[in-house]
Chain A
């Protein structure tokens, strides 16, 4: 039996802002289609709100309010890279992607590579060494080659359905495969299946200072 949702640890990390960026993209995509996990995440955010309420007050500089008030009087300055529009979205798959995934496309289109006659992959860069984010596209009725992975793999179905030895997966389903799991996904007969996947680099982590969270970088304490 396999879960089709992020585990509680992942939801807490998502809510507390410590989940890797690539994984957070997968979780966000799941939350848009899963009411239960979206509700759980809202409840978890209340924990963060409570922590703020309970936090000790560390005095701030006397002029800080004034600084904020003068910056809000200025025209809101949006970050240039934030507003960069991806003008030419030609690829039909790219066009249908969630906006936060589309924002990662260098030219507004995807570079598809054939891995087998029925499987194509396009990798996306999130600037993390620890994870690789990719889109997989399996032809209707197509079978992906049997594969194994060195690191954990998360898959979220975007469109279509696929199945493997353990189940049938539909849009929004969040599937975690551990290193060593061998499986052979197959798309449904009537429809192409597109998935988002996060493949963790097979890195052995030792000691707290090596545990660099890719989303939050801590100075060694």
Chain B
């Protein structure tokens, strides 16, 4: 189950990335401001890039969102569970949810009836299922992402980093939506993201666990 790919690049990657899980746990358990400062120094400039690229945000707006996201990181740190998500993944979901709400707030008149975290939270914070998935850490998924054919990783990069839907990705690359769908399917297979068997019999296997 654990990655068997070459380790050359990744031993470097591992050295470069400190154990942010530990830092985040320290913030959560003892409101450790030094640990938070280290997390801030690493994640804030990356979140800023992510938010600016993914949403055509101005640098100023992106900083507002970074501030909001990092404030949430502090407040939510007590609920961080490294068995469910790595620090990077956990912070990613907070930034993504912050971005979603920002766009919803700015595209409508009436108040938000709920926040993105209310919708996503149930799965991402309380899922009893995610431990297995988490064994495949971001480091191992990074190796596998590097192994993907360029046309497949490109689609995923655009969707995550530029924040485009599948249809928008197809438009941006000037390829049919069906091609985007098949690249996603092939990429997920290579990344060993277990997908439910589609079609098939009346067995309902995946739902009856």
| Alpha-carbon gap, A33 to B185, bound state (A) | 22
Least Cβ–Cβ distance between B38 and chain A, in angstroms: 11
Q: Quick one: CB contact mask for A24-53 with B, threshold 8 Å, 1 for yes?
A: 110010011111111111111111111111
CB distance A52 to B88 under 8 Å?
Answer: yes
CB distance A64 to B67 under 8 Å?
Answer: yes
CB distance A71 to B71 under 8 Å?
Answer: yes
CB distance B92 to A48 under 8 Å?
Answer: yes
CB distance B160 to A8 under 8 Å?
Answer: no
Binds B, one of A87-95, A135-143, A165-173, A189-197: A165-173
CB distance A103 to B118 under 8 Å?
Answer: yes
Q: Quick one: CB contact mask for A162-192 with B, threshold 8 Å, 1 for yes?
A: 0000011011110000000000000000000
Q: Quick one: CB contact mask for A1-42 with B, threshold 8 Å, 1 for yes?
A: 111110111011101111101001100100111111111111
Would you call B11 an interface residue if the criterion is a C-beta within 8 Å of the partner chain's C-beta atoms? no
Least Cβ–Cβ distance between B94 and chain A, in angstroms: 10
Question: Assuming A42-B130, A49-B91, is B103 touching A18 (CB within 8 A)?
Answer: no
The chain A residue sitting closest to B161, CB to CB, is A51
Report the interface size for chain B: residues with CB under 8 A from the other chain.
Answer: 102
| Alpha-carbon gap, A102 to B71, bound state (A) | 27
CB distance A68 to B40 under 8 Å?
Answer: yes
Return chain A residues, CB-CB under 8 Å to B168: 18, 208, 211, 213, 218
Question: Assuming A18-B163, A103-B114, is B104 touching A215 (CB within 8 A)?
Answer: yes
The chain A residue sitting closest to B201, CB to CB, is A1
CB distance A58 to B67 under 8 Å?
Answer: no
Question: Assuming A12-B184, A21-B104, A104-B113, is B206 touching A34 (CB within 8 A)?
Answer: yes
Chain A CB within 10 Å, residue with most, of B165, B168, B204, B209: B165
Known: A13-B165, A39-B194, A46-B89. 9 other contacts (CB 8 A): A2-B199, A35-B206, A39-B132, A46-B136, A55-B49, A57-B49, A103-B113, A211-B168, A218-B56
User: Which residues of A come within 8 Å of B, CB atoms?
Assistant: 1-5, 7-9, 11-13, 15-19, 21, 24-25, 28, 31-61, 64-65, 67-69, 71-72, 76, 79-82, 84, 98-100, 103-104, 127, 167-168, 170-173, 205, 207-208, 211, 213, 215-219, 221
User: Which residues of B come within 8 Å of A, CB atoms?
Assistant: 17, 33, 36-37, 40-41, 43-50, 52, 55-56, 59, 62-63, 66-67, 70-71, 74-75, 84-86, 88-93, 95-97, 99-100, 103-104, 106-108, 110-116, 118-120, 122-124, 127, 129-130, 132-134, 136-138, 141-142, 145, 156-157, 159-161, 163-168, 171-172, 180-181, 184-185, 188, 191-196, 198-200, 202, 204, 206-207, 209
A-B contact pairs, 9 of them (CB 8 A): A7-B181, A19-B165, A36-B206, A42-B134, A47-B156, A60-B63, A71-B71, A127-B108, A205-B167
